[in-house]
Amino acid sequence: MKYIVLILISITSFLFSGLIKGEVKDNSENPLSEANITIEGTTLGSASNETGYYLITGVKNGTYEVTCSYIGYHPITAVGVKAYEDSLTIVNFNLYPLEMEMEELQVEHEEEDYTDQMQFRKLESVKFYQIIYVPNPDQNLKKPDKVKVGFFERLFYKIGKLFD
């Protein structure tokens, strides 16, 4: 019963609260995804999707400042945005890129002679040898024991003889 009441309260608060939606584009009218949109003085906010659209739910009656920010762009704040319960407010943003200038950067480089510190060695050709084992005639070599042939080996041998 408690869960049903909580679900009904959350649904009614969602249905009877205001919505702020819109889209975020750059100065070339390209959509900006993952832009941050926040309502100042509240904990409400959203991020734009891959097509640049965003939606903020749960907005109470009032006049707000809505800020849109994106890395590498100037943030923009829409002042005087009026939101009403049971209504939709549309706020679109066009962001302009930041133009940053750096001071002149000077790189100093000292050239060092490393040839004295390097040691070279003479290259030698590689010789390959083939090792062949030749038994000593003085050794007493044993003949291997007779190998026992199993049933399946004999069977496959006889079947092979039939097809020769």
Query: In this structure, is residue 12 part of a structural domain?
Result: yes
Query: In this structure, is residue 79 part of a structural domain?
Result: yes
Query: Domain total for the chain?
Result: 1
pLDDT at 37: 93
**pLDDT higher than 50, residue 6:** no
Q: Which of 4-8, 17-21, 24-28, 71-75 has the lowest mean pLDDT?
A: 4-8
Query: In this structure, is residue 71 part of a structural domain?
Result: yes
What predicted TM-score, i.e. pTM, was given to this entire model? 0.53
For 36, the 3-state DSSP assignment is strand
Single-letter amino acid, residue 113: D
Query: In this structure, is residue 153 part of a structural domain?
Result: no
Query: In this structure, is residue 103 part of a structural domain?
Result: no
Is residue 44 within 8 A of residue 18, CB to CB? The reply is: no
DSSP state for residue 96 in the 8-state scheme: -
- Residue 81: CATH number of its domain: 2.60.40.1120
Model pLDDT for residues 84-140, shown as the tens digit of each residue:
888 888 899 999 888 777 777 777 777 776 666 666 667 666 666 655 555 566 666
- Summarize the chain as % helix, strand, coil (round to 5): 15, 30, 55
C-alpha to C-alpha distance for 72 and 62, rounded to whole angstroms: 31
Helices of type H across the chain: 2-15, 151-162
Query: In this structure, is residue 140 part of a structural domain?
Result: no
Domain holding 53, by residue range, is 2-95
Query: In this structure, is residue 131 part of a structural domain?
Result: no
In sequence order, the 6+-apart residues with CB closer than 8 A to the CB of 35 are: 24, 47, 48, 52, 54, 68, 69, 70, 93, 95
